[in-house]
Structure 1
Amino acid sequence: LATEETAVENEKLEEHGAVLGGVDIVSEKNYSSNLDVSFAFDPVKEAHLLAKNAFVAYRNDKEIIKYWYQRYRLFSKLDEGVLMDREGWFSVTPERIAEHIADRMVRQPGILIVDAFAGVGGNSIQLALKGARVIAIDMDPIRLKCARENARVYGVDDRIDFICCDFFHFASKWMNDIGKPVDAVFLSPPWGGPSYLKSTVFDLDDLNPNGFDTFTAARKLSPNIAYFLPRNTALKQVCVRGRCEIEQSCLNKKIKTLTAYYGSLAVHRS
């Protein structure tokens, strides 16, 4: 059985390697041939990205400093070399929530999961720790640099492919070139910063890219989707995307986020 699982995993990796070689989809392996940027972290030139030193940079930043005081909820290994840019502080999934989502998504080792908006890698890391192979996508090369280094800190950088590209382009190219679905997709598109909390109800149309379009693109890759959203998201909008299970995540007795699970990731009750 182990040999069979490995063979299936290797087949998937060979297939997605064909996609990663595209001119517009740039993985770490062929990144230097497309852009004059490296995913490698330079501890001298990029010391400002070290999360453990962020207090100096953000002590007068009212939006960010509150996340600094909760830093070990974001990454338990934050002091071991975790990297974050400014957006990473308010966009990364708290580690315990990311771990729980990974428990829900990774049903068996070796499955292939796309993290469509990987950011600094919080969810990709937890998915990989549970045994998944992960394709981590983001349009920001600095954020992917952080994600790659953070995966190294957690010991799973060999289980994640980091790709700098537009998710919509990736989804179309994957289906055109491979034509086979992945096992699951994790969606956590940008919420627009901390200002989302000012709205009584968060509208999927307010996401950038549009929340409905993002879901449609993900459905091209897999029916099994976990959609990570603000706690004040309009539930009627989430439910009309298909049969789903909605789960609220709490930290310190406060609801922080919600996750909508679709396809086989949802718990089906009679």
Structure 2
Amino acid sequence: MSVIKKAIVSQGSGPLNPSYFCVHSTANPGATAANHVTYWSRNPTIPMAHLVSDWTEAYHTVPYDRLVAHVGNGNSLCEGLEICEATNETDFQRGIQIAAQVVRERLAARGWDTGRLICHDEACRMWGGTDHTDPIPYFTKWGYSWDQFKQLVQGGTDMAITTDEAKQIAAEVWSYQYDPNQPNMYNAVQYEMGGKIWGYDYKKSAPGGNVYNTLVYETQGQLKELKTMVTAQTAAIEALSKSMGADPQQIAKAVQDAVKAKLDALEITVTATDGD
């Protein structure tokens, strides 16, 4: 499913048959993609790009086969995206993910690979007519690089989420509450595994019917539940992280650390009796 919304604000200034896709950043910190769409719609003759994205959405603003002024002497050679500049790390990370998906979609639509992907800084050095070096200064501000972005577009690993976000995911995984009346991704994975154990009554099946056996079978059942839960949630998180372009190993480690801390804190006492 495309992340790009259509919001054409200009028909450009002539035909375009591009050979490259050029990435920019707006140099307008905090201004959203919607802000730029509104501004460009009121000023359709000013420099703009074919697309603009921020940390929540992306817009297609000029037809892909129409010329716009965005890269100096390379205008006739490039389709382009403006990445809105975030003011915090969380928005920066989200914005990078959305921008990478936009670029990935457009390269695929053209039948191109990242060999056709350039930034404004490279275009400046290749063709001149502009002195801009974006998005390099914006990326550098957040400890990011152009090479990392190209790897992300290719589907490689990247610092897609912050450490705090990984910890939050781990906390949410551990505190998950099962609700049989509300099917969700977790339930789907669980039932696919054939582990319909939540409604199973271990007390009724305990051989001998005494307290000791009941506790043993209850404990075994709880351990099976825990194993199923962890396995299912791990699979769900891995699928989610891959769909976001995140690093599954980073998330998995955060979850592992959280689970280990919980298990280390558990105290289980089983008392055996001869009575029923």
Q: Classify the TM-score, shorter chain.
A: under 0.3
State the TM-score, normalizing by the size of structure 2. 0.24
Name the structure where helix makes up a greater proportion of residues.
2
Name the structure where strand makes up a greater proportion of residues.
1
| Bigger relative CO (Cα 8 Å, ≥ 6 apart) | 2
